[in-house]
Amino acid sequence: MLKKILYKTFCIAALVAAMSFTAPTGSVTITFNNYVGSSLLKLDNTTYKNELGQTYTVSKFKYYVGNIHLKKSDGTEYVSDKYYLINEEEAMSKQITLTNVPEGNYTNVSFTLGVDSLHNCSGAQTDALDPVNAMFWAWNTGYIFLKIEGKSPVSTQPGHLLEFHIGGYMQPNNCIRRINLTIKNGMQVSNKTMLHIKADVSELFKTPTSIDFAKLSSVTDLHNATTIANNYADMFSIQ
């Protein structure tokens, strides 16, 4: 009798172990491709035009993404709570690899553009959230969620600079935006899966608010920050 029970227990344990060890997973590499309209972003020497026809160049483009959720068609989710700093200057930073993602058909990807309030209040952090990455405000604690710098001849700043440092995690100046993208034909995760996401710089300066560089060329604190945040909420799309 005892032997039988032991045997059964062993079988169940083995089955559970086998299931948990062999549940098939793969990796998903998300590549963030930065664009201006329909062309890939080129730093410094390429001139672009905003909605008002004002020309501008981009010398720096960095932003935080994190808390990535991948959702299956059956509603189950894969969650990564890490933060990543996407920096146009560093090709490697534009690729994020998520590991141990259960195989299956995924229909939705969502992530935070910015850094959630908890991580804005948690003291000294490291890796992507290390304050040495120049994406941190010391005098009014908090991360800069998105930084874009460049030039426009109509800018009234010294050197005709454009400087948009967008951050702020507290109401009414909260610039955290949750990005939710539907993967049209689904994404079948198996061994190594790739997902390409487009970030369009031109969206920063339009919809809902068209930015006139002659009037607004610098945002470096909470003034006007949410205007840009509302604009960047729709800058991402699946490629």
Closest C-alpha to 165, from 82, 111, 223: 223
Of the pair 77, 89, the CB lying nearest another protein is at 89
138 binds another protein (CB under 8 A): yes
Of the pair 105, 141, the CB lying nearest another protein is at 141
141 binds another protein (CB under 8 A): yes
Length of the chain: 239
Contact of 106 with 189, CB cutoff 8 Å: yes
| Residue 184, Cβ density class (10 Å: 0-12 exposed, 13-18 middle, ≥19 buried) | exposed
The one segment of 7-15, 52-60, 70-78, 131-139 that binds another protein by CB under 8 A: 131-139
What is the smallest separation between the CB atom of 64 and another protein, expressed in angstroms?
17
What is the smallest separation between the CB atom of 212 and another protein, expressed in angstroms?
22
Residue type for position 67:
N
For residue 9, the Cα-to-chain-centroid distance in whole angstroms is 46
121 binds another protein (CB under 8 A): yes
230 binds another protein (CB under 8 A): no
Residues 184 to 223 in contact with another protein, rule: CB under 8 A = 221-223
| Residue 154, Cβ density class (10 Å: 0-12 exposed, 13-18 middle, ≥19 buried) | middle
Give the separation between CA 42 and CA 31, rounded to whole angstroms: 17
140 binds another protein (CB under 8 A): yes
Which of 130, 180, 188, 194 is close enough to bind another protein by CB under 8 A?
Answer: 130
Give the separation between CA 162 and CA 218, rounded to whole angstroms: 6
Maximum C-alpha span of the chain? 88
81 binds another protein (CB under 8 A): no
Of the pair 140, 157, the CB lying nearest another protein is at 140
Interacting residue ranges for another protein, rule: CB under 8 A: 120-126, 130-132, 134, 136, 138-142, 173, 221-223
